[in-house]
Amino acid sequence: MKRLIQTIRNIYKIEELRKRILYTLGIILLYRLGSYIVLPGVDPNQLANLQNQTSGGLLGLLNMFSGGAFSNASIFALGIMPYISASIVVQLLGMAIPYFQKLQKEGESGRKKINQITRYLTVVITGFQAPGYIANLVSQLPSQAITPFDPAITSPSTFFWVSSVIILIAGTLFVMWLGERITDKGIGNGISLIIMIGIIARLPFALFGELVSRMEQKGGGLVIFIVELAVLIGVILISILLVQGTRKIPVQYAKRIVGNKQYGGVRQYIPLKVNAAGVMPIIFAQAIMFLPLTLAGFAQSESLSGFFAAFTNVQGFWYNFVFALLIIVFTYFYTAITINPNQMAEDMKKNNGFVPGVKPGKKTAEFIDQIMSRITLPGSMFLAFVAIMPALVGHIGVTAQFANFYGGTSLLILVGVVLDTLQQIESHLLMRHYDGLTKSGRIKGRSSINMS
CATH classification of the domain holding 386: 1.10.3370.10
| Greatest distance between any 2 Cα atoms in the chain | 91
pLDDT above 60 (res 439): no
**Which of 100-114, 233-247, 249-263, 404-418 reaches the highest mean pLDDT?**
100-114
| pLDDT higher than 70, residue 171 | yes
In a domain, 332, yes or no: yes
Task: Count up the domains in the chain and report the number.
Answer: 1
74 φ, ψ to 5°? Answer: -80, 165
Res 172: pLDDT: 93
**451 inside domain:** no
User: What whole-number distance in Å separates Cα of residue 299 and Cα of residue 320?
Assistant: 20
48 or 411, higher pLDDT: 48
* Burial class of residue 372, CB neighbours in 10 A (0-12, 13-18, 19+): buried
* Long-range CB contact pairs, 174-180, < 8 A, 24+: 174/34, 174/76, 175/31, 175/34, 175/76, 175/79, 175/80, 175/83, 176/80, 176/83, 176/119, 176/122, 178/27, 178/30, 178/31, 179/80, 179/83
Which of 236, 228, 339, 325 lies closest to 284 in space, CA to CA? 325
Please, where are the H alpha helices in 141-247?
Answer: 158-185, 190-212, 221-244
- Answer whether residue 438 is part of any domain: no
- Using one digit for the tens of pLDDT, what is the confidence trace for 45-70? 777 777 777 776 677 777 777 878 88
Domain annotation covers residue 82: yes
Are 172 and 78 within 8 A, CB to CB?
yes
Angle at 342 between CA 336 and CA 347, to 5 degrees: 125
Single-letter residue type at 46: Q
Greatest mean pLDDT among 118-132, 144-158, 346-360, 403-417:
118-132
Q: If 0-12 CB within 10 Å is exposed, 13-18 middle and 19+ buried, where does residue 370 land?
A: exposed
User: Over the stretch 62-102, which tens digit does the pLDDT of each residue have?
Assistant: 777 787 888 888 999 888 888 888 888 888 787 778 888 88
Query: Over the stretch 296-340, which tens digit does the pLDDT of each residue have?
Result: 655 554 455 566 666 767 778 888 888 889 888 888 888 877 778
- pLDDT tens per residue, range 227-237: 878 877 777 77
Domain-embedded: residue 390: yes
Distance from C-alpha of 394 to C-alpha of 440, rounded to nearest angstrom:
39
pLDDT score of 1 more than 50: yes
pLDDT band for position 449 (cuts 50, 70, 90): very low
Share of the chain above pLDDT 90, in %: 8
Report the pLDDT value the prediction gives residue 150, as an integer from 0 to 100: 46
What size, in residues, is the chain? 452
What's the pLDDT score for residue 26? 93
The most confident of the ranges 73-82, 287-296, 388-397 is: 73-82
Question: What is the pLDDT, as a whole number, of residue 145?
Answer: 41
**Cβ atoms of residues 35 and 76 within 8 Å:** yes
Band the pLDDT of 27: cuts 50, 70, 90: very high
Looking at residue 168, what is its pLDDT? 93
| CA 187 to chain CA centroid, nearest Å | 16
Q: Residue 169 pLDDT > 90, yes or no? A: yes
Report the distance separating Cα 347 and Cα 249, nearest Å: 15
Query: Helix, strand, or coil here: 442?
Result: coil
Asked if residue 443 belongs to a domain, the reply is: no
In angstroms, rounded to a whole number, what is the distance separating the alpha carbons of residues 275 and 247?
Answer: 10
Residue 345 lies in a domain: yes
CB contact at 8 A, 168 and 180: no
What pLDDT digit, counting tens, does each position of 95-146 carry? 778 888 888 778 788 888 888 999 999 999 998 888 888 888 887 777 554 4
Residue numbers of the domain that contains 378:
2-431
Share of the chain above pLDDT 70, in %: 79
Q: Which helix (H) or strand (E) holds 353?
A: strand 353-354
268: three-class secondary structure by DSSP: strand
Is the Cα torsion angle 202, 204, 207, 212 positive or negative in sign? negative
Residue 449 lies in a domain: no
Q: How much of the chain is helix, strand and coil, in % rounded to 5?
A: 65, 5, 30
Report the range of poorest mean pLDDT among 28-42, 76-90, 154-168, 262-276: 262-276
pLDDT of the residue at 132: 83
How far is 135 from 206, CA to CA, in rounded Å?
27
Cβ distance 243 to 415 under 8 Å?
Answer: yes
**Mean pLDDT of the residues in the chain:** 77
The predicted model scores a pTM of 0.74
Mean pLDDT of 358-363: 82
C-alpha count within 13 angstroms, C-beta hemisphere, residue 450: 16
Q: Give 104-166 as a 3 state SS string.
A: HCCCHHHHHHHHHHHHHHHHHHHHHHHHHHHHHHHHHCCCCCCCCCCCCCCCCCHHHHHHHHH
Number of Cβ within 10 Å of residue 144's Cβ equals 9
